A and B are shown apart, each in its own frame.
Chain A
Amino acid sequence: MAILDKLKDGVQRELEGLEFVIGWEQGYDPLHASPLFIRTPGDIDRLIWNPLCVHNLASYLPSLKGRRVGILLKGCDSRSVIQLLQEGLIKREEIVIFGIPCRGVVDLSKIKSRIDTSQMRAVSLMDDAVVIEIPQGREEIPLDDVLATKCLSCQYPTPLIYDHLAGEVLPPQRPTEVLYKEVEVIEELDVQDRLAHWERELDRCIRCYACRNACPLCVCQDYCAAESRNPRWLSQRAGVSEKVMWHIMHALHLAGRCTDCGECERACPMDIPIQRIRRKINKEIKELFGYEAGVNPEDTPPLYTFKVEEPTIQEREW
C-alpha cells in the first residue's frame, strides 16, 4: 500500500476520537501544498502526501493544548513535537501522531531561482525529479537539486515519535558533513565582512514576524517580547540594528531548542537566509553540550540546566 493510502486508512480509523487531524492538501497552485484540517471522513480524500508538503504542522500544536487532535509528521517535524513535549508545552496523550518516512521536501525558492513559475501549467512529481510544464516547454529538475538544505543532511528521515507509521522505517541516507556548510561559508569570512553580510541581508527584514509565526517553538506568539512595551526590547525605529536585534532575539530564544525545521526561513517573504543563524547556534550547542534538540523527550534543553564543572567551557582562562 502506498504511503498516502496508509495515511488515509489510519486517519479514517482514528478520526472519530479526535477533534480533527492536521495534514496537507493541494494549495492554490500546483507547486504549493496547504495545511488541511480533516474534521469529517469526507475531508480525507483531500489529503495529499508528496515532496511539496513542506509545512511543519507541529507549529499548530502548542495553541491546541487541551484538545485531542491528530497530526501528520515527517521525521524533522517529529523533532519539534519532541521538543514541545520536553518543555511541557503539549501533552503526549492529547495527540495522535501519523508518522511519515520522508525522502525530502522541496525548497520552492530553489525551483523559482531556476525557472519562472508564474506561467506554469502543471507539475508532476517523479521519484527523483520534479517536472514542471511552462509555456516554453517541459522542465525536468532533478529532485536532489531542489531539496531543502535541511533534507540534504537529514539524519532523521523517519519520525522519532509516532503512533502509526505510514511505511517502513527509513535509515538515514544523507551525509552529516554538509549540515553546517552554509554556516562555515560565513565563518570563513573576515569578521567585518560578516557584519556587512548580515547588514545587507537583514536590512531587507520588514519585521513582519512571519519567521516567528511559522516557528513551532515560538510559543509566546501574541506576547512575543519583540512587540511588547514591557519589556521593551525593540523600538519602532526602522534601522538595521533593530532588525538585527530581532533576529538575534529570535535565535537566542531558540538556543538549545531549535530543531532546524527551517520554517522560519521558508516563511520569510524577503528570502533572508535566517536559518543559518540558528544553525550556527545549534552547531555551538552541539559542540559544547553534545546536544541536539528534539531527539529525546526526556532531555532537558542545555541552557535550562548546568554542570558544576563544565568540561567544554574554559571560561577561567580569560
Chain B
Amino acid sequence: MRIGVFVCHCGTNIDGTVDSHQVAEEAKKFPHVVYATDYLYTCSEPGQQEIQQAVGEHDLDGVVVAACSPRMHENTFRRTIERAGLNRYMFEMANIREHCSWIGEDREANTHKAIELVRMAVAKVANHVHLHPSYFEVNKRVLVIGAGVAGMQAALDCADGGLDVVLVEKKSSIGGRMAQLDKTFPTVDCSICILGPKMVDVGQHEKIKLCTYSEIEDISGYVGNYTVNIRRKATYVDWGKCTGCGLCMEKCPSKKAYDYHNEGIADTTAINISFPQAIPKKATIDPEYCRQFTKGKCGVCAKVCPLGAIDYEMEDEIVAEEVGAIIVATGYGLLNMEELGEYGAGRYPDVITGIQYERFLNASGPTQGHVVRPSDGEEPKRVVFISCAGSRDASLDRPYCSNFCCMYIAKQAILTRDHIPDSEVYVFYMDTRSPSKGYEEFIRRAQEEYGVQYVRGRVSRIYPKGKRMVVRGADTLLGTQVEVETDLVVLATAATCAPEAEELAEKLRISYDEYGFYMESHPKLRPVETNTSGVFLAGACQGPKDIPAAVGQGSAAASKVLSLFSKDQLESDPQIAQVMELRCVGCLKCADTCPFQAIEEKELPDGRVVGHVIETVCQGCGLCTSICPSGAIQLQQCTDNQLIAEVEALCQAWRERSSG
C-alpha cells in the first residue's frame, strides 16, 4: 500500500507540546508510508488541498491525518480524500490533540506518544478495504415528542415544509410550560396571547396529526424507517363526540381533584378541561378523583353530557406510527420543593414556587390575577424571591444553573409591583445572569424603575413568625446578616429533567447526562443532533433554556429534518458487520445476541445455514464480531485484523524503543 501521513500543528494546540515535524519525519519510516508532512492547520482549505494534491502526486491509496479527535473531523477528511479520488474509508485519524498534546506538558513524551499513535493508525489503514454505502428509502414523516413551545415550533416548521407530522403530547392539551405563564420577559407581553395563536395553528394544520394525552410506548427501526408505538391513554371521554362545552365540569360533584395546570394552588373537578385555551379543547376524567372510579357510582357527567361522550369503560390504546425522523422536545421538570428543607418548602403554605406564583399572577389563574397569600387569602405587602433554590447547589448534587430563573424573578418582581403598587419586593440572589438581548436592561429596570431590592447572598433559613415569614440570610456585599419579615416567599426552584426523561432516552437510544438532560451530538457544532441518527433535540430536554432559545432549537431541529428528508434515499453506513460465509459454522450466536435483531439465518445452496446481516438494520456495534468464535463475522472498518494490527504496531514500537 501507499500511505500518506499528514501531521497537523493545529496552530500551537498540537505543536506547542508535540514536535509535529518530528512526528512526520518518523512516520516516513513506517511500513507502507511513502509520504509524510506536517502543516499548520490540516483542516483548513489549503491544508485539505495539500492532502488532495499529495494523493495525486504520490499515488496514495490510504491517508492518515494526525490531528484532533476523529469525533471532530473524521468526516471532513473522508470527504477530502474522496474529492481526491480515493475511497473515503481508506482513512484513519490519529488523535494527537485531545489524547496527547492537550493532556501532557512533557514535549518529548508527547512526541513519542504521537509517533506511536500515528504508527497504529498507519497499521490500521494498511488493513482497510474499500467500502461502499448502499441506499434505502426514507419515510418522510416526522414524530415530534412533546408539544410545548419548542415541539410546536418544530412541528409547525416541518408541516409548513410539507412534511406529515405526528405530534405526541403527554398532557391533554398542547402548550406546555409556556401555557402556564402569565407574562414573558423581557417584553412583559402576555404569554398565552402569543402562544394561543400558535396552538391554534398546530391544532388546525392539515399536516399535523395531534396525539395528546399520549405517551411513547416503544420505538424500533432506524433513521428513515422508525416504527413508534404510541400509548393513547384512556380519557374516558370520546373526543370524537366531546365539544368542550364544559357542562360536565360544572356538574361534577368531585371538586377536589389536583389541578396540574395551576400547580396545585387550586383544585379542579375530576372531569376537566385543563385550561380555557386548551387545544384540543376536550374533557378528560382523572380516575384518581372521579367518584365513578373511586366509589363505583356517580355517573353525573354521563347524565349531563348532551352528546353522550362519557365512556367509563375506555381503555388505553396502542397506535403504531411509521416515521423517518424524531424530534424530542419533552421539556423540563421542577425540583420537588420538599427537597429544600431549610426553606421550609412544603411545610409553610406561604413558601411557594415560581411557577405557582405565575399562576397567581395569571389573569386566567384561580385568583384571576390577584396575588394572595395561600395561608389566608390576603394580599401580600412584602414578597421575597429566592434565586438558585436547588440550582448551583453541590449539596443537592445539582451544580448547574437553571438558566431562566434570574430573568423570571425580575419579571415577577416587576409584575408584583404592578399588581400591588404599595408592595415591597426583595430578591436574594447569588449572581444575576442576563446575557441575552434586552435582558440586562430588564433587570436594571426592575431595580431602578420598580425599586426591587436585590440582596446578594444565600438564604440560610426561613421560619414563621406570627402570620408572617422571616427570611434570614447573609448579605455578602455588606458582609452582614440580614433578616427580612415578609408575607410571601417565592422560590426559583431548580429546573430538572422532565419526569421519566431517562426511560424515554432508553427507548430512543439517545444519551443523557447525569441529571437526565439529553446529550447533543456536539456541544457547539451539533447542538440539536443526537448520536442516534434521525433523532433530534429541541428545547429544555437538552438543558434548561428560555423561550427564545427553545423556539430557536425547535426551528433548528425542524430544518435538520427537512434537510435529511430533502433526499429520497439515504445512504446506509457501510461500516457494518459482514459474514464470511465460508468460515461461518452457523451457530448463530451472533443472531442470538445482536441488540438490533440485524442478523438472520440464511440457507446456502448447499444446504448449510449461515448468518446473514441485514444491512439497514445493523448499527455497527461489533458485538457479533467479538462473540463469533471463528471470526466469521467481521465489523467492517473495525475488524479483528485491524485491531490486532493496531495492537501489534504499538507493541512493536514499544519493543523497538526499549531495545534502543
- The reply, when asked whether chain A contacts chain B directly with Cβ atoms under 8 A, is yes
* A230:B630 contact, CB within 8 angstroms: no
* B629:A220 contact, CB within 8 angstroms: yes
* B630:A224 contact, CB within 8 angstroms: yes
Partner of B585, one of A66, A223, A228: A223
CA distance A231 to B583 in the complex (A): 11
* A219:B631 contact, CB within 8 angstroms: no
Please give, as numbers and ranges, the residues of chain A lying within 8 Å of B585 by CB-CB distance: 219-221, 223
* A220:B630 contact, CB within 8 angstroms: yes
CA distance A232 to B592 in the complex (A): 25
Knowing A219-B585, A220-B585, A304-B589, say if A232 contacts B630 (CB, 8 Å): no
CA distance A66 to B585 in the complex (A): 14
Tell me if B243 is interfacial: C-beta within 8 Å of chain A.
no
Please give, as numbers and ranges, the residues of chain B lying within 8 Å of A201 by CB-CB distance: none
CA distance A221 to B607 in the complex (A): 19
* B630:A225 contact, CB within 8 angstroms: yes
Partner of B583, one of A88, A223, A233, A305: A223
* A231:B641 contact, CB within 8 angstroms: yes
Tell me if A203 is interfacial: C-beta within 8 Å of chain B.
no
State which size class the interface on A falls in. Answer: 10 to 19
* A231:B639 contact, CB within 8 angstroms: yes
CA distance A242 to B588 in the complex (A): 28
Partner of A233, one of B580, B627, B644: B644
Tell me if A87 is interfacial: C-beta within 8 Å of chain B.
yes
* B630:A223 contact, CB within 8 angstroms: yes
Which residue on B lies nearest to A66, using beta carbons? B607
* A231:B634 contact, CB within 8 angstroms: yes
Which residue on A lies nearest to B643, using beta carbons? A231
> Which residues of A27-73 are within 8 A (CB) of B?
66
CA distance A89 to B609 in the complex (A): 11
CA distance A135 to B282 in the complex (A): 104
Please give, as numbers and ranges, the residues of chain A lying within 8 Å of B584 by CB-CB distance: 223
* B634:A87 contact, CB within 8 angstroms: no
Which one of B580, B587, B589, B630 has the highest number of Cβ atoms from chain A below 10 Å of its Cβ?
B630
* B589:A228 contact, CB within 8 angstroms: no
Which residue on A lies nearest to B607, using beta carbons? A66
Partner of A225, one of B587, B589, B593, B629: B629
CA distance A230 to B632 in the complex (A): 8
Which residue on A lies nearest to B627, using beta carbons? A304
Please give, as numbers and ranges, the residues of chain A lying within 8 Å of B259 by CB-CB distance: none
* A304:B592 contact, CB within 8 angstroms: yes
CA distance A87 to B592 in the complex (A): 10
* B593:A233 contact, CB within 8 angstroms: no
Tell me if A253 is interfacial: C-beta within 8 Å of chain B.
yes
Partner of B641, one of A221, A232, A304: A232
* A87:B587 contact, CB within 8 angstroms: yes
> Which residues of B571-616 are within 8 A (CB) of A?
580, 582-585, 587-589, 592-593, 607
* B639:A88 contact, CB within 8 angstroms: no
CA distance A66 to B608 in the complex (A): 10
Per-residue B-contact encoding for A85-110, CB less than 8 Å = 1, 0 else: 00111000000000000000000000
Query: How far is the CB of B124 from the nearest CB of chain A, in Å?
Result: 14
* A231:B587 contact, CB within 8 angstroms: no
> Which residues of A194-232 are within 8 A (CB) of B?
219-221, 223-225, 228, 230-232
Per-residue A-contact encoding for B205-217, CB less than 8 Å = 1, 0 else: 0000000000000
CA distance A89 to B629 in the complex (A): 14
* A232:B644 contact, CB within 8 angstroms: yes
Query: How far is the CB of B345 from the nearest CB of chain A, in Å?
Result: 33
CA distance A230 to B582 in the complex (A): 12
CA distance A66 to B586 in the complex (A): 13
Query: How far is the CB of B145 from the nearest CB of chain A, in Å?
Result: 24
CA distance A225 to B630 in the complex (A): 5
Chain A interface SS verdict (over half): loop
* A88:B634 contact, CB within 8 angstroms: no
Please give, as numbers and ranges, the residues of chain B lying within 8 Å of A220 by CB-CB distance: 583, 585, 629-630
Which residue on B lies nearest to A305, using beta carbons? B593
CA distance A300 to B630 in the complex (A): 20
Query: How far is the CB of A260 from the nearest CB of chain B, in Å?
Result: 19
Query: How far is the CB of A144 from the nearest CB of chain B, in Å?
Result: 37
Tell me if B640 is interfacial: C-beta within 8 Å of chain A.
yes
Per-residue B-contact encoding for A295-309, CB less than 8 Å = 1, 0 else: 000001000110000
Please give, as numbers and ranges, the residues of chain B lying within 8 Å of A228 by CB-CB distance: 583, 630-631
* A304:B630 contact, CB within 8 angstroms: no
CA distance A230 to B583 in the complex (A): 10
Which residue on B lies nearest to A87, using beta carbons? B587
Which one of B584, B627, B631 has the highest number of Cβ atoms from chain A below 10 Å of its Cβ?
B631
Please give, as numbers and ranges, the residues of chain A lying within 8 Å of B641 by CB-CB distance: 230-232
CA distance A232 to B583 in the complex (A): 13
* B589:A231 contact, CB within 8 angstroms: no
* A231:B631 contact, CB within 8 angstroms: yes
Please give, as numbers and ranges, the residues of chain B lying within 8 Å of A66 by CB-CB distance: 607
Knowing A220-B630, A225-B629, say if A233 contacts B589 (CB, 8 Å): no
* B580:A230 contact, CB within 8 angstroms: yes
Which residue on A lies nearest to B645, using beta carbons? A232
Query: How far is the CB of B132 from the nearest CB of chain A, in Å?
Result: 19
Please give, as numbers and ranges, the residues of chain B lying within 8 Å of A233 by CB-CB distance: 631, 640, 644
* A219:B587 contact, CB within 8 angstroms: yes
Please give, as numbers and ranges, the residues of chain A lying within 8 Å of B593 by CB-CB distance: 304-305
* B631:A225 contact, CB within 8 angstroms: yes
Per-residue A-contact encoding for B25-46, CB less than 8 Å = 1, 0 else: 0000000000000000000000
CA distance A278 to B356 in the complex (A): 65
CA distance A128 to B65 in the complex (A): 73
Partner of B632, one of A88, A89, A223, A300: A223
Query: How far is the CB of A88 from the nearest CB of chain B, in Å?
Result: 6
Please give, as numbers and ranges, the residues of chain A lying within 8 Å of B582 by CB-CB distance: 223
> Which residues of B621-646 are within 8 A (CB) of A?
627, 629-632, 634, 639-641, 644
Per-residue B-contact encoding for A5-32, CB less than 8 Å = 1, 0 else: 0000000000000000000000000000
Please give, as numbers and ranges, the residues of chain B lying within 8 Å of A225 by CB-CB distance: 629-631
Please give, as numbers and ranges, the residues of chain B lying within 8 Å of A224 by CB-CB distance: 630
CA distance A300 to B592 in the complex (A): 10
CA distance A219 to B582 in the complex (A): 14
CA distance A255 to B584 in the complex (A): 20
Please give, as numbers and ranges, the residues of chain A lying within 8 Å of B639 by CB-CB distance: 230-231
CA distance A87 to B583 in the complex (A): 18
Per-residue A-contact encoding for B104-138, CB less than 8 Å = 1, 0 else: 00000000000000000000000000000000000
Which residue on B lies nearest to A249, using beta carbons? B629
Partner of B644, one of A221, A231, A305: A231
Query: How far is the CB of A303 from the nearest CB of chain B, in Å?
Result: 8
Please give, as numbers and ranges, the residues of chain A lying within 8 Å of B631 by CB-CB distance: 225, 228, 230-231, 233
CA distance A89 to B584 in the complex (A): 13
Identify 14 residue pairs between A and B in the complex whose beta-carbon atoms are under 8 Å apart, listed by A's number. A87-B589, A89-B587, A219-B585, A223-B583, A223-B584, A223-B632, A225-B631, A228-B583, A228-B631, A231-B641, A231-B644, A232-B641, A253-B629, A304-B627
Kindly list 15 other residue pairs between chains A and B, CB separation below 8 angstroms, not including A223-B585, A224-B630, A230-B640.
Answer: A66-B607, A88-B588, A219-B585, A220-B583, A220-B629, A220-B630, A223-B582, A225-B631, A228-B583, A230-B631, A231-B644, A232-B640, A232-B641, A304-B589, A304-B627
The 6 closest A-B pairs by CB, nearest first: A231-B640, A231-B631, A220-B630, A223-B583, A223-B630, A225-B631
A binding-site residues for B, Cβ under 8 Å: 66, 87-89, 219-221, 223-225, 228, 230-233, 253, 300, 304-305
